Amino acid sequence: MEERILIVGGGIAGLWSALALAKSGRSVTVIERDPPAPEGEDSADLAFTDWERRGVGHLRHSHAFLARLHKHIREWHPELMQDLLAAGCREIGFADNLPLALRETYVPAPGDEELTILTSRRTTLEFVMRRYALRQPGIEFVTDTLVRDVLTETRSGRLAVTGLAIERDGERQEWPADTVIDAAGKNSQLIDTLNERGAGIEEKTERAGILYFTRHYRLHEGMGEPERNKVPSAGDMGFMKYGVFPADNGCFSITIAVPEIEMELRKAIIRPETFDFICSQLPGVAPWTAEDRSTPVSKVYGMGELISRWRKLADDDGPRVLNFFPLGDSFIRTNPLYGRGCTFAAIEAETLVHAFDRTENPVARATLYFNNARGALRPYYSDMVKQDKAAIRRARNALDPDYRPKLRNRVIRSFAEDAITPALRGDTALLREFMRAFHMIDKPSEFLRNPGNIAKIMSVWARGKKRNARHYPPKLGPDRQEMMALLDLPATSDWERLRDAA
């Protein structure tokens, strides 16, 4: 008899897992608490303005989709790629993102096509994916339906999931299942419920250390995007990181990430006029938001409580729960700055289907899924957590007027700023290797393990600042003191408060 698979949540992870399982000939039912997207003439715009998604708080924050995700769609769902492009989603190639100096001498190399990213409003990607999923045999969507509980029993001393309790039109129903996929996102309650019943699923969380602020804009009729200039449209200024996200159908968004400890800045930036003023001070952003080019079409969305979280569902004794597979943010959460969440979910869906195709034994299936997901994703996760910790330290030091870095820290900083950065900005082949790791085509360790890459970086470092001058990034905008003064905000109060609290 065909196994009954229930998927909790029809967001990104629910969609990737439904599409992957249906492709392998299985039938799935996706249970989603929110209503379907409104259909109409300008569906992508309607999805952005009118789609009620109380279940996804970050739906209207900037999203970009890594090259690894683009590859997943190309290889697993080529027709979906056609739908996405037809709806206005954009492919941005490796050459399009090169620093200007490298673009002039760029010669395409085999593999560069693998470094194409996909961009759109998140609502557009999700709405097109949903519409495509609904056309696939084997995928059923049940919307406006809340999963309230998970049904369990104990089998041979292990907790096993046997179905879900759902609420529909105010009525509770129990739906039996052979497999439950938890794709209910970062606030999913299912693992907490299973732990209350003794599952013993451990998790480790790390702070991302930032808050996200996003505003959306639309280009005026007939107006194109600005020419890329010397100052990049994304950058890290220490006290803030910024990025322009080109999107579909003449839209784009800007996200400014502010360290959690920048209390004054984070309070001020939520005001649209302050957000736009900051944009006007950043040479890589200002041409986008200039009044004669575009107009804002949303409020400033703010989001905090950003964490990275890894849940350990299997250990040496095997899986903690049988017939239960979390995917997406309910399994692994990542700092949004890296743009990896949707790609992680797609790789988990690939891993899940491989495990399902290999065996029907519940213990072996779960063990395969969790071990392989760990092998595929943990290196990127660990690398990210390490970088986040360093960024949190840097943001804190930036507030301390008495901070004097120790020799070791000065060397590390110089290696990043005077070796890696100018080396990448001056060498297309090196940047290509770096991007392959960033976009999850290669493992992160491969870049620095390659002796050729290290030799190039070290020789740039040895050449010294003066001879590398043309490969340093231009000034991205006012420094912290200047920006705080421009915004009429106290520059030191945060540090005094922090120090007093310590």
Contact positions toward ligand FAD, by CB under 6 A?
Answer: 8-14, 31-34, 55-56, 58, 61, 63-65, 146-147, 183-185, 188, 212, 303, 328-330, 336, 339-343, 345
Residues listed for the chain: 502
- Report the distance separating Cα 376 and Cα 389, nearest Å: 22
Residue (26 or 60) nearer to ligand FAD, CB = 60
Q: Which position has the token pair 């039938």?
A: 27
- DSSP-based three-state secondary structure for 427: coil
Name the DSSP letter for residue 329: G
CA distances to 265, 395, 404, 487 from 490, in Å: 9, 16, 22, 9
Q: C-alpha distances in angstroms, 239 versus 47, 332, 476?
A: 34, 27, 12
What is the token pair recorded at 386? 């390490």
Residue 206: count other Cβ atoms within 10 Å of its Cβ: 18
CA atoms of 173 and 187, how far apart (whole Å): 22
How far apart, in whole angstroms, are the C-alpha atoms of residue 262 and residue 280?
20
Would you give the DSSP letter of residue 289? H
Q: Write the single-letter amino acid at 356.
A: F
Q: Are 417 and 443 in contact (CB under 8 A)?
A: no
**Strand locations in 15-155, DSSP E?**
28-31, 64-65, 90-92, 117-119, 139-142, 146-155
Minimum separation from the CB atom of position 234 to ligand FAD (A): 12
Residue 160 corresponds to which tokens in the numbers above?
């096993």
Element (H, E) at 214: strand 210-219
Say which amino acid occupies 462: A
- C-alpha 213/C-alpha 266 separation (Å) is 9
Cβ-contact 172, 166 below 8 angstroms: yes
For tokens 């190639």, the residue is: 93
Region of residue 138 (phi > 0: left; psi between -120 and 50: alpha; otherwise: beta): left
